Structure 1
Amino acid sequence: MECLYFSAGRCRSCTQMPVPYVDQLQAKADHCATALAQFPELQFLPPQASSESGFRNKAKMVISGTTENPTIGILDADGHGVDLRNCGVCAPELRALFPVIERFIKELKLIPYDVPKGKGQLKHVILTLSDTGAVMVRWVLRTKKHFVALRDSLPQFLELLPRYSVVSVNFLPEHKAVLEGEEEIILTRRTTLEFGLNGVPMHLRPQGFFQTNTEIAAALYRQARQWITDANPASLWDLYSGVGGFALHCAEGGRRVQGIETSTEAVAAAQVTVEEMGLENTTFTAMDATEFALAAEQAPEAVIVNPPRRGITADLAQWLNDSTVQHVVYSSCNSVSLARDLAWLDKFTAKQARVMDMFPQTNHYEVIVRLERTAA
């Protein structure tokens, strides 16, 4: 993939841009194999390749410049805007919306936030694309000065968006390097963006998390579902469940499934799918994964864990070792913490692993591992 922004030195986010994609993928597979070399029984399946361009379903764009000439992209080292609206890793459908965003900035006279001066109103626009073609647009403001203008322009804005789209306004009053604040007002009647991965309807609320590469997310869930289907446990926990991707893909045949996630927004979104699909034996609870496990009266036959980069806790690893759980599927975005956690899980043997290239053009990747209990 060629990128004029990278070649011109305007953006270096995609650090592997000059490397042919086939070499990127092999390097990630080799890196993961080295990181997990201490587990000799681990068999690596062929890495799952991604589209090398246009794969990002999410665009987190900083708005800078002026009302008359806004930039949509990132900030340079001095805090000034760098326009990246033709970024090649963003899905074409998202790039097509940037002129619409610019139009409404100008028509509504929205004032971009000036980071060096700490003045202005519009900080970011966060766009998420569903595989159904719908989008979620989140305007991030410093104060509520422009809120009425955005609310009142909603009918005109929706006319230029795909059907079933969601629009919200988020408020970030603090001057700090984060993307969003705690307060969010959804402007549309529709409150969730629906995905349809592998025939499973999944819902995303404005402050929820969804994988940024829909193609690889679907492949990741298929791999987990295949391993769980082969093991055929009667009961399953999905810890760090997010909006329920793993749990919902494995909730079949009357299996008892419990999803655990700290985000109440994500739990609410997952519950929408439970009701839509009529999954009577599937539930989601907003709770810390380790606290839930340690307080449980009975363990399931299988557990899926998909923790943040820091990995699972030592207490959760010890609980899994001491439990009656027979099968573990571990999805990780950090092979370093994964290697540590697999070493902690010494009552289990890592049997299979697969690198899933969630983040082409970078050194990052996802890896999913199947473990089986080998000791009481």
Structure 2
Amino acid sequence: MSDALGPRLSWTEPVTGAESAFRNKAKLVVGGRRGEPTLGILDGGQRGVDLTGCGLYEPGLADVVHRLPAVVADLGLTPYDVPGRTGELKHLLVTHSPDGEVMLRFVLRSPGQLRRIREGLDVIRERVPETRVVSVNLQPEHKAVLEGPDEEVLTDLDTLPMRVNDVTLHLRPRSFFQTNTFIAEALYARARAWISELRPSTVLDLYCGVGGFGLHALGHGAHHVIGVESSADAILSARRSATELPEGLTSEWHAGDATQHLMDATPDLVVVNPPRRGIGPELCGRLETGGPAHLIYSSCNVTTLARDLAALPSYDVRTAGLFDMFPQTGHHEVMVLLARR
């Protein structure tokens, strides 16, 4: 391993957290019938199975999820019946913040019952006073896709603040955030520690999501961050969060293809946090021929990470860390710091 990854590779202490009660997000399939919904998953016959008592939810989220069947019943929403292709409410997507606030997203087959939700905001707030953001997502297709492209926010507030270390990330309804807040804090803190040692003036944050890595870098060696992410909602979140940072720190956030974006002037550091498919040969080639002195690569798939590292022969892995982002599974987050030879 040392020959492949570099002669001075050192592993930091693995970061682990609770084996249960760690998820900040619930993705609930709605089954049952009007007035008697089930929230959880579907069985082999495509009928609803209740999972409101799932032990993976962090305590505040677990408490909210227990109250949601009554909310759906009170609003008079009709669960979507998969075998019959009838009904409206397909999913409930719930995110819980460290401050105990909630974002609640209703995924409907059509706008038919949107009015019930809009007119029932007081019912939702009465049942779930933790609610900060309520939105409706439209997913008209009959296939295993969690949400669709159209979303309408029904509340005056449209972001859920997520405190992560000393940075507040403002999540919009379709903004991605890690499901394990405790491990996410450790991941960003470790990256910040590496960045503080490197003192890069400019950081390019590719696949930046809501800006977690870039926002943690600002003021800790980095004075300017450029973030690139395909999700326009995530970019809006990053821009909103950046407004709360101290004066003198600048950033810019672009919605676009991260594989195509390298600056004309090479940045001091590039951070990549791609989806499971990795960064791929095109971006590896660009980094190999014109990349900076250092890279930070955070990966949720060690197979594609290893493939991409092999495509970056000019870099050595100097430091690596494992983060147990997904307890009770074989998945984990690995982050590596690379230095050009």
Q: TM-score, normalised by structure 2?
A: 0.95
State the 1:313 CA deviation.
2.3
Task: Tell me the residue number matched to 1:270.
Answer: 238
Give the direction of change, closer, same or farther, for the CA distance of 1:313–1:324 in structure 2 (3 Å limit).
closer
- Tell me the equivalent position of 1:18: none
- Aligned to 2:155, what secondary structure does the other structure show? coil
User: Which residue number corresponds to residue 259 of structure 1?
Assistant: 227
Q: Deviations over 1:165-219 (max 9, x none)?
A: 1111111111110111111110111101101111101111101100000000010
In 2, Cα distance between the equivalents of 1:114 and 1:257?
Answer: 47
Q: Tell me if structure 1 keeps the 8 A contact 2:103–2:134.
A: yes
Tell whether the 8 Å contact from 1:133 to 1:162 is kept in structure 2 after alignment. Answer: no
* 1:39 equivalent in structure 2: 5
Q: Once the two structures are superposed, what CA deviation does each residue of 1:210-255 show, in whole Å capped at 9, x if it has no partner?
A: 0000000010000100001111111111100000000000011561
- The whole-number CA distance in structure 2 between the counterparts of 1:302 and 1:353 is 16
2:196 alignment partner, one of 203, 219, 229: 229
Q: What's the % identity of the aligned pairs?
A: 45
| Equivalent residue number for residue 23 of structure 2 | 56
Please give the residue correspondences for 1:138-217 in structure 2 after superposition, counting only pairs within 5 Å: 138-163=105-130, 165-217=132-184
The number of residue pairs the alignment matches comes to: 338
Give 1:343's aligned residue: 310
Aligned CA RMSD, in angstroms, stands at 1.6
**Residue among 286, 289, 294 paired with 1:322:** 289
Aligned pair partner of 2:255 in 279, 286, 292: 286
In structure 2, what residue type is equivalent to 1:268?
L
Q: Is the contact between residue 168 and residue 188 of structure 1 (CA under 8 Å) also seen in structure 2? A: yes
- Separation in structure 1 between the aligned mates of residue 291 and residue 159 of structure 2, nearest angstrom: 37
Structure 1 counterpart of 2:277: 310
Maintained 8 Å contact 1:330/1:368 = yes
**Distance (Å, rounded) in 1 between the aligned partners of 2:108 and 2:49:** 19
**Structure 1 300/40 Cα, relative in aligned 2: closer, same or farther at 3 Å?**
closer
Find the aligned partners of 2:131 and 2:45 in 1 and give their Cα distance: 39
Give the Cα–Cα distance (whole angstroms) in 2 for the partners of residues 204 and 261 of structure 1.
14
* Per-residue deviation, residues 251-275 of structure 1 (Å, max 9, x unmatched): 1156121111111100001000111
> What do the CA deviations read for 1:139-178 (whole angstroms, capped 9, x no partner)?
1111122111110110231233345611111111111101
Q: TM-score, normalised by structure 1?
A: 0.87
Amino acid at match of 2:214: A
Where does structure 1 lack aligned partners over 5 or more consecutive residues? 1-33
Structure 1 residues 125 and 267, CA gap change in structure 2 (3 angstroms):
same
**Partner of residue 60 from structure 2, selected from 66, 76, 93:** 93
Distance 1:367 1:284 in 2: 25
Deviation per CA, 1:285-329: give whole Å up to 9, x if none: 111112112xx3111011100011111121211211222501111
Q: Structure 1's 134 and 71: CA in aligned 2 closer, same or farther, altered over 3 A? A: same
How much does 1:364 deviate?
A: 0.6
Deviation of the 1:104 alpha carbon:
2.1
CA distance in 2, matches of 1:171, 1:115: 16
Question: Which amino acid counterpart does residue 272 of structure 2 have in structure 1?
Answer: V
Check whether the contact 1:254–1:281 (CA below 8 A) recurs between aligned residues: no
Q: For 1:337-373, what per-residue CA distance to the aligned partner results, in whole angstroms no more than 9, with x for missing partners? A: 0001111111110011111000001111000001111
Rounded to whole Å, the distance in 2 between the matches of 1:221 and 1:204 is 16
Q: Deviations over 1:46-91 (max 9, x none)?
A: 2100111110001000010112321110011221111111100112
Alignment partners' CA distance in 2, 1:164 and 1:66: 24
Aligned AA for 2:340? R
Structure 2 counterpart of 1:247, one-letter code: G
Q: Which residue of 1 aligns with 2:208?
A: 241
Seen in structure 2, the aligned counterparts of structure 1 residues 331 and 94 have a Cα distance that, compared at 3 Å, is: same
2:79 is the alignment partner of 1:118: no
Give the aligned residue type for 2:228. Answer: I
Does structure 1 retain, via aligned residues, the 8 Å contact 2:6–2:316?
A: no
Q: Using the alignment, how far apart are the partners of 2:261 and 2:248 within structure 1?
A: 21
Whether the 8 Å CA contact 1:164–1:190 is kept in 2: the answer is no
C-alpha distance in structure 2 between counterparts of 1:158 and 1:164, whole Å: 6
